[in-house]
Amino acid sequence: MSNERTNGYADAVVAVATAEDALEAVESELLTVARAVDANEDLRRQLTDLHLPVGRRLTFVESEVLAAAHPATRSVLAMIIAADRVGDLTAIAERVSERTAARRDAELAEVYVAVPLDDARKQALKDALERSTGKKLELKVYVDENVVGGVRAKIGDTVIDGSLANRLGNLRTRLGG
């Protein structure tokens, strides 16, 4: 999907969410749904199957899975499904998060950790990343079993990989093996 189209959908999502006074909820829920769709091959296949009538694909929006979601989140998901853009959902959700962070004069930092972090650890991590980048950041923390230990952070085009796997790989490289 072109950046222009992704940006257009992200702008539409932000406009709908802002009009509904639900930008934070929509931004967070959309990212969560995007990650869930990415992680579930069956769900992704069902939502992207153009042989299924759009009405059947739209039943996901009204499913029990999204019962607690804000109505604006369900509306923008319906728009994305009806436009056959579910394959671009993650990119759209990320752009929405970037725009939401920018509205708070911050930059989005996607952080991947091995285990859930409590609020104190999230704040300490945020403080450390802000010191190292010199930027005000808004953290989105995701648990990723591929991060065996440590942290991997993506801030714009910059990736800070302090994961144990990366550190071991670097050590292997330095040792010539």
Give yes or no: residues 88 and 21 share one domain: yes
Of 100, 134, 156, the last residue of a domain is 100
DSSP assignments along 117-156, one per residue? --HHHHHHHHHHHHHHH-S-EEEEEEE-TT--SSEEEEET
Tell if the pTM clears 0.85, that is, is over it.
no
> What Å distances lie between residue 5 and 11, 21, 43, 83, 175, CA to CA?
10, 24, 23, 12, 46
Give yes or no: residues 50 and 93 share one domain: yes
The tally of domains found in the chain comes to 2
**CA–CA distance, 124 with 128 (Å, rounded to integer):** 6
Give yes or no: residues 9 and 87 share one domain: yes
Domain residue limits at 59: 3-100
Give yes or no: residues 94 and 131 share one domain: no
Give yes or no: residues 86 and 124 share one domain: no
Give yes or no: residues 76 and 157 share one domain: no
**CA–CA distance, 126 with 105 (Å, rounded to integer):** 15
The DSSP H or E segment spanning 88 is none
Of 54, 80, 100, the last residue of a domain is 100
Q: What's the pLDDT score for residue 18?
A: 95
Do residues 52 and 46 touch, judged by C-beta distance below 8 A? yes
Give the dihedral of Cα atoms 169, 91, 17, 57; nearest 10 deg. -120
The CATH number of whichever domain residue 48 belongs to comes to 1.10.520
Give yes or no: residues 77 and 125 share one domain: no
Structural tokens at position 45 = 């296949």
Provide block-wise average pLDDT over 10 residues at a time, the chain (177 residues): 86 96 94 92 92 92 90 96 94 93 88 90 92 89 81 84 66 71
Q: What's the pLDDT score for residue 160?
A: 81
Q: What's the pLDDT score for residue 171?
A: 66
Of 100, 115, 145, the last residue of a domain is 100
Give yes or no: residues 115 and 94 share one domain: no
Residue 107, Cβ density class (10 Å: 0-12 exposed, 13-18 middle, ≥19 buried): middle
SS3 percent helix, strand, coil of the chain, rounded to 5, is 60, 15, 25
